Amino acid sequence: MTAPATLTSPAFTHPSKYLIGYYGGWAAYSGDTPDKINASNINVINYAFAKIASDLKIAVGDSAVDYTNFTKLKSLKSKYIGLKTVISVGGWEDSGRFSDAALTETSRTVFADSVVSFLKTNGFDGVDIDWEYPTGYGLSTNVVRSADKQNFGLLLKALRSRLDAQGAKDGKHYILSFAGAANNTFAGGVGLSSIANYVDYGFIMTYDLHGRWDTYTDLNAPLYFPSGTSPQYKTSVDASVRMWLSNGFPANKIVMGVPFYGFAYSGVTAANGGLWQHYLTCVSVGFDKIMSNYLSNPAFKKSYSSSAMVPYLFNGSTFVTYDDENSIAQKTRYAMSKDLFGVGAWDLSYDRSSRLVNSIKSNLY
């Protein structure tokens, strides 16, 4: 008698380069529901965020809107053939139980099995692990253990095993990805080279490189170090990508993040075009609102850092750091020059006109 053939999950097939966009489910409260996303140029939509419940299983983050959003995402896939949807778990506010879920073989199995069930029930094509962050420096209320570094890899391994087993039954490949910070602390805290084999790609959050936590105004996501003498630390998208590569994460599995938002600093000292100055308050502003509230205002002077390759605005007291179609195009071409897997954005609801999405797509090759 011939032994039955062993089922194997289909390989991950994809176009040469990927465009991935996060969508925050809370955007539905403002009317920006998933069915309104123009996904003609998008390969994957990451839905943010699910969470980990007290039983260490995946759970919806906001039951008031999530299930309706999931239905609309499934309809969106019917409209845009080939579009994939992925559930993103965690984020800044809901990473507190990752350490517990990753702690033992039993807890990892419980979580991984619940993820597979969640994908099947809600029509997702994969899962994105957004643990902020293994071994610490997330919210002070998060559970943190020194074993998080090893356990993060073991959690991804368990997920890969369960996803592949289900994929073999369903005749499809389920995506497994993770989002990671753009700094050395994260890279050293998770062992990037050791986890690469488990995931289809890793998403570098190459934004929020500067923001309201700094003493001085600065650029949200400079491609390169800006020229000039800064009173605070300098960092860049390029430095972050090179750091991931030097830590052994393969270029062909890196998704480089770009921001569809910026920061507006108020009460800024009127010097140096507003850059590297003291300020009073700082708020996040989506690209659509930057266009309507600032770029259309003649009081704001637009400048461009030829070294950092990003624009900024200043009216004498308010400094706005952001990305536009040109800087997004520059970053996409940079990602292609490094032969990265693709480019990803936070957040699609900030670009309802698709100007930034189209800029990425037209420079992917």
- Kindly state the percentage of the chain with pLDDT values over 70: 98
- Kindly state the percentage of the chain with pLDDT values over 90: 93
Chain centre distance of CA 275: 26
- Residue with token string 């965020």: 49
Quick one: CA dihedral 212, 213, 215, 216, positive or negative? negative
Q: How far apart are CA 340 and CA 363, in angstroms?
A: 13
Per-residue pLDDT at 6: 60
What count of Cα atoms within 13 Å lies in the side-chain half-sphere of residue 68?
12
Per-residue pLDDT at 14: 79
Predicted TM-score (pTM) above 0.85? yes
Higher pLDDT, 125 or 3: 125
Q: What is the mean pLDDT of residues 299-325?
A: 98
Q: Taking the domains of the chain in order of start, what are their residue ranges?
A: 18-259+324-361
Beta strands in the chain (DSSP E): 18-24, 44-52, 58-60, 84-91, 126-131, 175-180, 201-204, 254-259, 261-266, 281-286, 301-305, 310-314, 319-321, 342-346
Closest CA to 20 of 357, 343, 297, 337: 343
**pLDDT bracket for residue 289 (50, 70, 90):** very high
Q: What is the mean pLDDT of residues 166-190?
A: 94
Higher pLDDT, 13 or 265: 265
Chain centre distance of CA 108: 23
Q: How far apart are CA 316 and CA 332, in angstroms?
A: 31
Quick one: CA dihedral 329, 334, 339, 343, positive or negative? negative
- For residue 119, the SS3 value is helix
Query: Cis peptide before 125, with omega less than 30 degrees from 0?
Result: no
Q: How far apart are CA 214 and CA 167, in angstroms?
A: 45
Contact present, 320 and 211 (Cβ < 8 Å):
no
- For residue 99, the SS3 value is helix
Query: Measured at the alpha carbon of residue 260, what is the angle toward residues 217 and 317, in degrees to the nearest 5?
Result: 30
Range name among 7-16, 150-159, 330-339, 346-355 with the lowest pLDDT average: 7-16
Is 356 a residue whose pLDDT tops 70?
yes
Per-residue pLDDT at 144: 95
Is 24 a residue whose pLDDT tops 50?
yes
Average pLDDT, the chain: 96
173 Rama sector, left if φ>0, alpha if ψ -120 to 50, beta otherwise: beta
Contact present, 25 and 65 (Cβ < 8 Å):
yes
Q: What is the mean pLDDT of residues 215-238?
A: 97
Q: What is the mean pLDDT of residues 265-294?
A: 98
Dihedral of the CA atoms 282, 285, 291, 297 (nearest 10)? -30
- pLDDT tens across 234-275, in order? 999 999 999 999 999 999 999 999 999 999 999 999 999 999
Beta strands in 215-309 (DSSP E): 254-259, 261-266, 281-286, 301-305
CATH class, domain 18-259+324-361, is alpha beta
Residues 6+ apart with CB under 8 A from 249: 187, 192, 193, 196, 202
Residues in the chain: 365
Query: Measured at the alpha carbon of residue 241, what is the angle toward residues 240 and 243, in degrees to the nearest 5?
Result: 65
Catalytic center residues:
132
Per-residue pLDDT at 204: 98
